[in-house]
Structures are given as C-alpha cells and as structure tokens.
Amino acid sequence: MTDRRPFIKERLFCPGPTPVSNEAKIASLDASAYHRTQSFYDMFLRCRKMLAPIMGTKSLPLILTSSGTGAMEAALVNLTNEGDEVLTARAGKFGERWGKIANAYKCKGHTLEVKWGETPKGDDFKNYLAKHTQIKAVFLQANETSTGVVFPLDEIVSAIKEVSSCLIIIDAISALGAHKISMDELGVDCIVSGSQKGFGIPPGLSFIALSDRGWKSISSRPRFYFDLEIEEKGQKKGITAWTPATSLVASLEVSLNTLHKIGLSEVIDHHEKMAKAVRSGVQNFGLELLAQSSYSNALTAIKLPDHIDGGALIARLKNKYGAVFSGGQDQLKGKIIRFAHLGFSDRFDVISGMAALEFALKEEGFDGKLGSGVSALMKSLL
Ligand SMILES: *Cc1c(COP(=O)(O)O)cnc(C)c1O
C-alpha cells in the first residue's frame, strides 16, 4: 500500500514504476481470467498488434511475464552461444547489466567505457568493431536510465553497419513512449522493453521483438523459460508457454488503447515538452544537469551541490512531500537526483515534482529562490 498520511499524496517521479491510470487499474481487477480461453487469446493478440508500431516493427513482439531484465536475458540467451564475443557500452548501470548478463552466460564480453552522463558515439563502435572483427553482437541502450541520456541510435547503428554485420540488440526499456524508436527503420535485430516504464502499468510484463535476421540467428544454447521460438509458436495464436500475468495483460490493453488513441507522435511530443520544461525549471532554480546534451525525454538527471546529502534529500522528499524520486547509483550515489516524466505523467505532476524539489532542497540548505524553478517550468509549458 502507498502511505496514507494526512494531506500528503504520494506521487511517483522515479523512472519506473510510473503512474498507472485508473482505467488500467480497474482493468486488472478481473483477476480471475483464465489464460487458456479464446477470449484471453484474443486480448493477448490485440496487445501484440498494438505493441508492434510502438516498437516500430511489422513483426509482432512477444509478451513475456518478467521484469524488463527478463527480456534482456531472453535476448542474450536466444541470440548468442557460449563463447560468442559481444560488445556492450558501459555508460551507466544498464549498460553494465548487459555486460553482466553476457558474463553470466559465458559470452566473451567487450566493453566500451563511457563517462557516466555521456553517450557513446558512432565512431567509438566503428573503431572498436574494426579492430575486433570476431564480435558477433552489440548490446546497447536506447536510454541509459541511470544517467538520463538518450543514445544517438541512428548514428551508432549506421556506424556499426559500416564495419560489421554483427547482430544489434537494443534495450529500449525506458525509451519507448518517450522517444521514437523503430526497429525496422533502424534495421536492428532485437528490441526489448518493459511494462512499468512508458506503458504506464505495473511491473511484471516485458516485450521483445526480433527482426527476420534475428529469428534466423536463434542460438543453440540450452534454455527453458525464455525460449523465444516456443513462445512465438504459441503466441501466434495468443497462447503463452507459461501462465502469463493475466491481470497485467488486461491493464496493458487499456494502456495501449490509450497510447494509440492519443497517437504515438503526440505521446512523444508530450514527453519532449515535459523534459524540456523540467530542465528549464531545475536550471532556473540554480541546479546543474548531469548530461550536457543527448537529454532523455524520459527522465532528467540533476547534479546535487556538494553540500547536499542526496540520501537525506530523497528521504525528505518522500517522507515530508510524498514525492518519490530516485537517486544515483554506484559512482553517482548521493550525487544526483533523477526526476522522471515518463508514462502518463502530466504537467501538474511535473509542477508538483519541481515544487517538492524546491521545498526539500531549501530545507536541506540549498540557496535557491523558492518558486523560480516552478515558474520557469510553467513558462516552458505555456
Ligand atoms: C528499468 C530498466 C531496466 C530494467 O528493468 P527491470 O524491469 O527493473 O528488470 C533495464 N534497462 C533500462 C534502460 C531500464 O530503464
């Protein structure tokens, strides 16, 4: 349960889970749906079809019951063999996660080290791959959620293709809905995502799409739960291999309907405007952004001045203001705060987030002019 304290509403500003609409919540109340019925198969197929344009592909994405990391693992297990050489870009926690999964499954991992808060460039991949021609697959992020940057995927993918025909797999878990990502237009082999980010439903479902070349490149490793060929065989008819999270599928249908009713380009425009407004607000309040460019539309990573204790700030935001923010991880722990505007958050959400941040920062000893962030944010949204 969320906290119920007098006059403190809880609001989510963490980059997943994101706010869930009442309609999506209500849909999940029909918790007794049996997944081996034609009506469930029909709903499942409607979801697959509505996911395809969001992932920018004509092939129907698979829906798995797992968090986003499950789809990352499924991608790696189904598209690599033991001993394969793979390349990842460690621009933050999630790039690191690709490396860890590759390591767990005994791939030979290569890593491009990227300063946290920056993105790798096309040439970084091109130069590396030109020297290491045995690399079979590149695993990267669309958004690095731990630092709030969006990768220049067009540039990176075309640079990779100049020197290599390796598979390209993209973790778009926090990017879908906030940025236009098209598997088919980019010409990549696999895209993964998850339910609790731009889709605005609780965690528990993940999505994975494969290109024709991806399907032809399925590996021969042992696997069980995440066997994509077995899934595809059943999911063609809406039948999952295992018991799916049925209540989440019901919520997913509602969210997907909403996203399509709004229109995908409108959804992305909205995120772009919200992100711009938040950047303008925090800068006008006297704070610096972690990234200098390649800002994500999903979330904004904000540097904290040295005299501010990030942990205390986040606790104050939560306890006194009901505002749930995320901090930094590892080398950024205590040093940044992450302000998400992903999924179905609206202008009044970000205005309250900014106001809460101003209050809490003032109380933690930061010398900013109260209201200056909110004012700039509102002007940007006008
Ligand atoms: C949230 C996120 C994940 C992990 O998803 P889980 O649902 O926590 O397993 C992976 N990659 C990125 C970029 C994310 O934002």
The residue assigned the tokens 């994509």 is 228
pLDDT reading at 2 higher than 70: no
Query: Ligand 1 pocket, 203 CB below 6 A?
Result: yes
**Mean of all residue pLDDT scores within the chain:** 97
**Chain segment 250-261, per-residue pLDDT in tens:** 999 999 999 999
4: pLDDT confidence band, cut at 50, 70 and 90? low
Task: Report the distance separating Cα 262 and Cα 209, nearest Å.
Answer: 23
* Segment 60-79 mean pLDDT: 98
Distance of CA 37 from the midpoint of ligand 1 (Å): 31
pLDDT reading at 1 higher than 70: no
Query: Ligand 1 pocket, 329 CB below 6 A?
Result: no
The pLDDT value given to residue 353: 98
Helices (H), 236-382: 246-262, 264-284, 310-321, 347-363, 372-381
The pLDDT value given to residue 8: 92
**Chain segment 261-278, per-residue pLDDT in tens:** 999 999 999 999 999 999
Distance of CA 94 from the midpoint of ligand 1 (Å): 7
Distance of CA 78 from the midpoint of ligand 1 (Å): 19
Q: Can you name the residues that pair with 108 across neighbouring β-strands?
A: 85
30: pLDDT confidence band, cut at 50, 70 and 90? confident
**Of the candidates 147, 137, 120, which has an alpha carbon nearest to the alpha carbon of residue 217?**
137
**Of the candidates 115, 88, 93, 113, which has an alpha carbon nearest to the alpha carbon of residue 103?**
88
The residue assigned the tokens 């920062």 is 361
pLDDT reading at 31 higher than 90: no
- With beta carbons less than 8 A apart as the criterion, state whether 273 and 381 touch: yes
* Segment 316-339 mean pLDDT: 97
DSSP per position, 173-190: TTTBTTB---HHHHT-SE
The pLDDT value given to residue 318: 97
**Chain segment 220-259, per-residue pLDDT in tens:** 999 999 999 999 999 999 999 999 999 999 999 999 999 9
Task: Report the distance separating Cα 95 and Cα 120, nearest Å.
Answer: 11
- The residue contributing the CA closest to ligand 1 atom 15 is 174
Distance of CA 39 from the midpoint of ligand 1 (Å): 30
Task: Report the distance separating Cα 128 and Cα 131, nearest Å.
Answer: 5
Best residue among 151, 173, 190, 195 to mutate for probing ligand 1, ranked by most atoms within 8 Å of CB? 173
The pLDDT value given to residue 159: 98
- 249: its two tokens: 């599928």
List phi, psi (to 5°) of 278. -65, -40
Best residue among 73, 90, 93, 94 to mutate for probing ligand 1, ranked by most atoms within 8 Å of CB? 94
Distance of CA 68 from the midpoint of ligand 1 (Å): 5
Q: Can you name the residues that pair with 8 across neighbouring β-strands?
A: 5
Q: Can you name the residues that pair with 364 across neighbouring β-strands?
A: none
Task: Report the distance separating Cα 293 and Cα 341, nearest Å.
Answer: 18
**Chain segment 198-216, per-residue pLDDT in tens:** 999 999 999 999 999 999 9
| Nearest atom, ligand 1, residue 145 CA | 15
The pLDDT value given to residue 60: 98
**Chain segment 122-149, per-residue pLDDT in tens:** 999 999 999 999 999 999 999 999 999 9
Distance of CA 69 from the midpoint of ligand 1 (Å): 6
**Chain segment 155-180, per-residue pLDDT in tens:** 999 999 999 999 999 999 999 999 99
32: pLDDT confidence band, cut at 50, 70 and 90? confident
What residues have CB less than 8 Å from 320, skipping those under 6 apart? Answer: 8, 359, 360, 363
pLDDT reading at 114 higher than 70: yes
**Rounded to two decimals, what is the model's pTM?**
0.97
Q: String of b and e for 37-67 (b: at least 16 CB within 10 Å)? A: eeebbebbbbbbebbbebbbbebbbbbbbbb
Distance of CA 139 from the midpoint of ligand 1 (Å): 14
Polymer length in residues for the chain: 382
